[in-house]
Structure 1
């Protein structure tokens, strides 16, 4: 899976499984044979090796941070340098550069007056070493009189305004924010938007680059979809001398640069799901269109997959990086930490457009967290968000109360349980006896494990913040009871954060909000509802200075280290004089609960999650980390962990990592007692378990197995057995699918010779061939007789120093490699 990890004294943020991105600038990197996805919605830079394995890797972070996307950037391929637009002084643009290999961002210092922000992407002209932009008059921010501007890079960067001959396009072209593409064969810029300009057919425009620049107008049929321009980027195919793009349904279109006629091309293979604002670029080595990410047409999710459309013969799609399984984006969902199964159960929430959900998902909290939908039976609760929820470990169920149903004055006041006992998880309403609490949203439900009861605290009834506390008991008969704690209570509030501190038998309350729109409405006080006798006693906690006032943050108890963990929320970010900034926060804090509660601000290393409120999460004691998911102004479905350090003594042994190849399996389990003896077992599905012998856990409690007695294509299951007082208990069961050998090729040049690492799936006829840069075959050999598996092959030919391309063919499949032979 795609991950990023960092180490620091205050922990390390780590993101799992997804490269969800839209509007990224996609670039082919010929030096490394990689696909770059730069900037876009994530404003991060990533690389995907195209020779495999197809796993995204983070590139160095931009320094300083820049805003790069497909519509405002261009590439100088010979230097692997990106030029992009940035806003300078007086709302005029500047051109900045990015070196993707180092993350270095720099501004180009230029003479002359630069334009207002243009209406089309910049275009780099490699012949004349200049950047051209279209749109943005000298004093015309509304683009009713667009101009053409050039930034000549040599000898010194200088801006100038062009005055092309010919009939210019209508201002509508500038207002359409058209894609602009360099046509290197004809030395012109092609604007890919189709418009009606008076009577007659649709038109497209091009601007010549050599001599006196001239506007050219061409009749076109327009995109078959009827749109004036593509919802996804347009890219130039040098081998086919045409432009390619995809429509919102991922249907391929190409444009002839001789006739300016668009054609929809039928495509084979599995079709990518619909999307807008994807990244797209041509892979010239394999002659295919690469597409990554994009948003769904409804706008409620961002894709994480990567596709390739082969352009030779009938265009055919192939999935390079599959879409990760994940819930639709959401915020304000309820959750419960199912510790017996090591997962977080999430219910409901709202989407980016304010729609309400009532689906259920589970986030597995193993070493690599993964989502799966929860199939339930029984009528589920009506859709909602801002509901209260908690896990009921005694009855193995998620309990949900109240929430927002779209009517701000009449929140829900119902109670539900999703039971996981007896097979398929089942929803059922609960109707407790006794007086019920006022219906509410933005409240908190916590489980008091010492008394087997739930506590409902505070909230908002549609008109006022509440300051009450209710007890909910589910045994022997469900019943509500209002509590009357002693002491001075906290002020009424909603959207507070709560946790039950079982070691000290109390509920801790932090922050929350009131209807006061000033900073007073964002609270940062800490309270304890202490139990022992009666209905408990309120006591405000004296703490060291800590987080700013906020609501809807993620607060979880780390009982192993006696502290609270806090992330984000919505509240005060900065106060300067009479100016207070309120925003979505992404700071992290701990509150040490021993003695005088002490706040400490954490500074975890690496990339951080976006600021958010309404998030879901859990403290994962097995891996000593805070798990964060969902939440934010528009909702999300990303998964982050804040890795906090040493592994505490575990109550379960869990699979920490696995490596599965055609010739071996390597598994590692975590959570055993250091130096503990465990028994390893293996079986084929439904067969009897067979002991693989005994292993000793290392000093950190890890157990490692390397199994080389495997066959490609087999399915195997593994588990650990721990014997205590003569009774053996089993942990960490996992199933693996041994992959079959695949067609694979890599090449290495050394000492004037070329050698190849070849992997064949079968003994069918196969050919390995070497071509020079002009496409002439200079060497080939048959390799199918070598049989399935990995092999080493050396080219028995004397070759002059040059760039070569290798091709391995077997049946309808091919693999390629690039070699630079130097003597």
Structure 2
């Protein structure tokens, strides 16, 4: 009986307790609580979030700082599983531990690029944009060092034991490797004989440094073929091909043994590259042929025997490959002539051949039906004689000019129809720097590697061609003679261009790049007669255009231009008209100049600088000088309708004649140099509303009236010349941010991630300059601007980075 009463009592008690609980999904809430979408909560907590969305701020009598979650107000606390976004949390995984994807303070998801430096996770910095390097912090969140590098091209190049081939498909001579003085290099250079300029290129892939290799142009496959050479340790046996964009290593199943100092030429009658001899394990006397896929050794019954430093060339008369001279296995120079027909070698009986020699060059002049030979050596003797082969006999050419040399290289430029020879070593082992041309006589040309020094010029980055365009200025010698030359900087080389039409000589003009129309725009300046100009000029590919709008700003100098990519307008402000300084604002839409009438404007000035700031979406103006030539240091921003004062004070030293550009990776305007009491050598950045002095250890010499542009492909701010007292008045400097541990992505191939941040090609914001040139990281992007994938192969694209737009050569 007692047991049954006990059970009844328990049942009665349980029913009483159950009547005070509130059902809430699969749980029961305690008495006095209510059920919300997130579970049980007090009536006050639920009321505090009535009508509010999750994540909104709330408060109760128990706490002032709360977050609505699941229909109730919860006190802000890291580690409670509720992400208090309004109070600065970016995550909350229910604990306060590091290394699990949510930092112990709930303010970082512990990923690089979130603008929080997660020291515990090994980060040294975090600039806030995923995948960006070159801004002081790598895309893997390690420090980068600010460096100013002197990029002034050497006055001349020298080489010995290099190789050259004329690339008929692209109309340039390709040079690779060799020794600069005593240093072997792995550089690729292109010589354009039409304009007489060298250009060093930076391909995605390259053979290693070497000398004594051989190259030949395969006209059937439109490739330059390179084989072998010596790297200082090993005689190499690798085969590479150049397609005008990059080098590609070929890996045939069979290759000739490693060697240097071989001879190689293309046989157009059979479509094969022929290789003979060279030095490896002793002197070789073997014959090999390359068909674009594999090497095949040919074993004729008769051959010239072992040869080192012989020369091969195609004989257009017999339509066979000709070999002349070289050293035999004993190191003795020869003077014999052989012809190869694809099956056998035949020694030619020649009266009065050239003297014994090796290390000479031979090229084919198809139009002249001859082979041209120059120079070489015999023991310690160098030759400077020129000979021609007509298919049956050698004849000395009545031509003089180049000094005696060996270890040189020569091609026949079929576009210009003349021979081009470069490099080598003379009898004193000095490497001569000049280029020599041959038709019936020799003539030398000295390549110009850099523009003459100047002041008051313009340098403008053309985003669609990846080149900075330099125009005009004045010689810094007191004469102020204006210049009218156009040069381009490609990141390695200054290239003088000869547009079909050009502006008159100008100094103190203004320039910018109009991304909507793909043109460099120039306005104003002073010409050679000291006349102020009101001309507008546009550089479109190979010519300067001269639009003549009905309405335009008055003639002026020391004005400033910048392009607003959001509104697709070129903005002009101020300048001087010879009588006073100006404060007018104009905009150019590619057809018409329109004067703006802002309610607020900077004071009248000249010598100011403009740059578009994508971070604020406005054109920024800094400094200049007023009518009394007093330097101004205020900063303004133009939004398309009015000017707004950003800050009244600038860098600590007031200045004029400075240079300003926007650095899209640093997301800051960069100011360099200028004139205070004397030239200054500092640099400053404007990020937000604050100017901050930069701290590079090495700076360019103090200067003023110089030019500055930002080369986005090479992540470099580039400055040139100006008024300074440095050792070289025509110097070129580049500011970069680099890490020896985590270098920035090279942006060469669509599928290769060279900086290890998990992003490759156009998916990596480091590569915006090649993929979306008008859309820097973190900035708004107008879809109408050119980009990879739009079906058009622009000059900054190629088949490696943008295979959808560009076909492989």
Q: TM-score, normalised by structure 2?
A: 0.34
The structure that is strand-richer by fraction is 1
Q: Which has the higher contact order (CA 8 A, sep 6+)?
A: 2
Structure showing greater radius of gyration is 2
